[in-house]
Amino acid sequence: MARRRVRVAAAEDVPAGQGRVVEAEGKDLALFNVDGAFYALENACIHRGGPLGEGDLEGRIVLCPWHAWRWDVTTGANANNPAVKMACYPVVVEDGDVFVELG
């Protein structure tokens, strides 16, 4: 199936160093801005479902707000055990809009 490009935010709504929970076709994603580069992960932490988009971002690491597991938002890998990964989605920024590619 072809990838679908879904607009999830205006780039200006997610300043560098921050994250947001956004929706793409009914699915919650966590969108992060690391020094101007955007990354999208599944929002529900695979530990117990905590909302990663509401976690504090330090550099490229987001801290899950529920039990503080640390995730590298650029790869989806757990910072302590990189073999454990969150699903990631490609992100494209065009004309000030942020799109996530699903599919």
Report the C-alpha gap between 56 and 95 in whole angstroms. 27
Q: Closest approach of Cβ 52 to ligand FES, in Å?
A: 7
Is the CB of 68 or the CB of 92 nearer to ligand FES?
68
Is the CB of 7 or the CB of 67 nearer to ligand FES?
67
Contacting residues toward ligand FES, per CB under 6 A: 45, 47-50, 64, 66-67, 69
Is the CB of 41 or the CB of 64 nearer to ligand FES?
64
Report the C-alpha gap between 86 and 75 in whole angstroms. 8
Q: What are phi and psi of 74, to 5 degrees?
A: -80, -20
| Structure token pair of residue 84 | 């454990």
